[in-house]
Amino acid sequence: MAADEAHSHRPGVLKQQNKSHKHGKHRSKGELSRESHGRVNIKTVTKKAKQVQRKNERRIQAKQLRKLKRGEVIEMKRRRGGQYTPPHFTVLYMCSGGVVNSVPKSDVEPAQIVNIFQVIVKLCSSVNTDTVMELLQEVFLALKQRMSFFIPQYGNLHALLDSAKIADSVLFVVSPEAVIDNYGNSCLKCLMGQGLSSSLFTCHGLSQLPQKKAAEARKAAQKVLEKSFPCEKLRTLDTRQDALLILRQLIDAKVKPVYYREMRPYLFAESIAFEAETDESVVGTLKVSGYLRGEKLSVNRLIYISGWDNYQISQIDSIPDPYPLGSSMNVDDGTKVLAHAEPDKQESLQSEAEPDVMQNEQTWPTESEILAAEASALQRKKLPSGVSEYQQMWINESDEMTVTEGGDAEKYDAAMDLDAEQKFLEKVKEERQHVMFPDEVDTPVDVPARVRFARYQGLQSFRTSPWCQNENLPIEYGRIFRFDNIKLLKKSVRKQEVSDAVQPGQYITIHISNVPRTFMESHSPNTPVVLFGMLPHEQKMTVMHFVIKRPLDFTDPVRSKEELVFQVGYRRFSACPIFSQHATGDKHKFERFLPQNDACVASVYAPLTFAPAPVLVFQQANDGHHQLVASGSVLSASPDRIIVKRIVLSGHPFKINKRSAVIRLMFFNREDILWFKKIELRTKWGRRGHILEPLGTHGHMKCVFNGQLKSQDTVLMNLYKRMYCKWTYNPRVPCPSAPSNMEEEEEGQAFHMFD
């Protein structure tokens, strides 16, 4: 009995133990409802709202998307070369002088000079052919296609670029001896920077070589081609079958969109005529005939003539198609007037706003105005023999220069422009000095620093310190237009419906009003006339910014505010840009020279161009040809971009203490030290400090720093000034001359035949 009373059950480790109620440590339902203030949690999204598809539904959707894309591709192909569409426009570009038998001349037909014309014309069955200003129209009945072939004159860069702007495809023809020469390589870079719709590479002349040499030449040409076009395959063009195959590939090739031309109408002029009221009239009406391509053309909008300017359209006529595909299109209905311009709806040619002079606060002339006044005061002297008329326009010789007649021993020196060589050497030295000591300038001794740097100011931080956008604006800002939202403006312009527009695909004649007579006088038959229909507001001047970068093979110094030639989309003009860093922030540092390796932003006064649009920058050489300096794209159109120029004044320690030092050679009088006293100092070794007081009257000053200076350290002071563009916009860009080394290359190839 006693043993039973002593025994009791003890729970094991597996016994369930419930949690005790933690009263007061949680919120009640009423408290939760009071905190939510009536808000309801988001309900779970259903599968239908999530658009969750089953496997079969995804398969059907993918099939529909493929069908839609295939239909779009077929529709794009039907727009080219068909019965009711313009002919397929192809540009034949000779990548080297060896492809051309001889340079085209005005008194010889192009089809008799260039071998590639003979291959296509004679080997392909065609009817109704015609050659106009090196434009060959072909109707291929077997292919049911119409094609136009154009060969720009070898060495005419503007003809190549203008024709490639509107080309459906570009046929590159290389030579087995010299695949791509120097000039051809530079043109290839320009075409790649401008944008290519479709390209095809062929080699002409392999059949004339032995079989082993032909295989080696083809392999070498393919290797050279892969550097710039890694996905392209080199094709031969020597037989009739090769020509037919290339024609089919040109027709069926995938067309890549060139955005700046797809949203505008454009036309390649096949015939032009100028009519003036009298023989003494300065302006007249230019009649341009050709196939309208791209978008619809409105008679009330402006039109741009490549290399010239904007003009108004007075009338658009419809002409029977001169190259019909079939007999059904041979019905001659005569000329019809499609549209007349309405003066109340016509776009204005006004490109500049009327400035309000009373709102400007100009107290002294700008540096550009001072330099322009000094340049105009220079007198021109007699020039050395051998200098062309073009060089006389920009050569200003010094007063100390003496001119002597050049003999036989001085022919080389007489043809050399010594002033240009000296200027180039100075630019090289300045660029090297700028790289070694960026932005450092010497304080003038004879002029007080407070007067010389009166327009400069100090900043606590270049990144965070504020800068007023509308302070001390130049008078040119009263002549430009400011757009609040460029992207929204572009959308609204694209959505505008034009009732009186002419549909693309027709053969029309455009009557352009008030074209100067000098256009016909300076027009060369070897240079094509290309027209682009402009969007609203594209004639208005503003501040355009372009992101550009140098090509790898161009290393010459390019100074800011130097005159350059720009090709922005379809527009070509000359201007003097200023360069700035391409970075984030509200302020951008001014660049004195175009950077060698990094991208930068070039800013100019120019008409508005909607992005995206490619940008090519050229520099006119001494012999007149255009050298590609940089390429890029349009960044923005905003006069509010703040470009700040920095200068650095340097001084050296004279006496060094633990926390202070005596600095000299930064200023040379007491008043300048007091004027710049509040600006922070820094050193090349990372110290920061301030000016305490001037010592004496010869520019010594006592400064305090956050650490002891080194004897080899340099004290610096940063000063900043806002920079503005110079109004140097010139819409007229003359055609450049061929490079001087082309003749040397052609001579080398000619002598190579006798090796």
215-252 pLDDT, tens digit per residue, is 888 888 888 888 777 777 888 877 777 777 888 888 88
pLDDT of res. 320: 85
pLDDT at 142 over 80: no
Average pLDDT, stretch 559-568? Answer: 91
Looking at per-residue pLDDT, the higher value among 15 and 705 belongs to 705
pLDDT at 38 over 50: yes
List helix spans (H) across 156-294. 157-165, 182-194, 211-228, 240-252, 259-262
Range of weakest confidence among 3-17, 111-125, 182-196, 528-542: 111-125
Gap between the Cα atoms of 285 and 680, Å rounded:
64
pLDDT of res. 543: 93
Of 284, 265, 264, nearest in space to 274 by CA:
284
pLDDT at 401 over 70: no
CB under 8 A, 24+ apart: contacts of 74-77: 76/255, 77/251, 77/252, 77/255
pLDDT at 377 over 70: no
What the block records as the tokens of 290 is 């050709």
pLDDT of res. 646: 92
pLDDT, one tens digit per residue, over 616-645 is 999 887 777 888 999 999 998 989 899 999
Pairing of strands 127-132, 135-140: antiparallel
> pTM of the predicted model, to two decimals?
0.75
pLDDT at 339 over 90: no
pLDDT band, very low/low/confident/very high, at 415 (cuts 50, 70, 90): low
Of 669, 680, 728, nearest in space to 476 by CA:
728
pLDDT at 8 over 80: no
pLDDT of res. 416: 60
pLDDT at 491 over 50: yes
Rounded to whole angstroms, what are the CA distances from 591 to 577, 578, 617?
Answer: 11, 8, 17
pLDDT at 408 over 90: no
pLDDT of res. 113: 31
Sign of the dihedral defined by the CA atoms of residues 215, 217, 218, 223, in that order = positive
pLDDT at 603 over 90: yes
pLDDT, one tens digit per residue, over 347-376 is 888 888 877 666 554 445 556 666 665 565
Sign of the dihedral defined by the CA atoms of residues 140, 267, 523, 521, in that order = positive
Average pLDDT, stretch 401-422? Answer: 55
pLDDT at 44 over 70: no
- Domains of the chain, each with CATH number or no CATH: 79-101+108-257 (3.40.50.300), 265-324+334-347+499-522 (2.40.30), 475-494+538-643 (2.40.30.10)
Range of weakest confidence among 221-225, 332-336, 701-705: 332-336
pLDDT at 264 over 80: yes
Question: Percent of the chain beyond pLDDT 70?
Answer: 77
pLDDT of res. 112: 30
Q: Is the preceding omega at residue 612 within 30 degrees of 0, hence cis?
A: yes
pLDDT band, very low/low/confident/very high, at 47 (cuts 50, 70, 90): low
pLDDT band, very low/low/confident/very high, at 565 (cuts 50, 70, 90): very high
pLDDT at 577 over 80: yes
Looking at per-residue pLDDT, the higher value among 91 and 746 belongs to 91
Q: What is the mean pLDDT of the chain?
A: 78
pLDDT of res. 43: 64
pLDDT of res. 129: 42
pLDDT of res. 358: 61
Gap between the Cα atoms of 280 and 648, Å rounded:
59
Average pLDDT, stretch 656-665? Answer: 90
Which of 52-56, 242-246, 356-360, 714-718 has maximum average pLDDT?
714-718
pLDDT of res. 369: 60
Angle at 452 between CA 449 and CA 456, to 5 degrees: 90
Gap between the Cα atoms of 506 and 319, Å rounded:
8
pLDDT of res. 139: 63
pLDDT of res. 143: 64
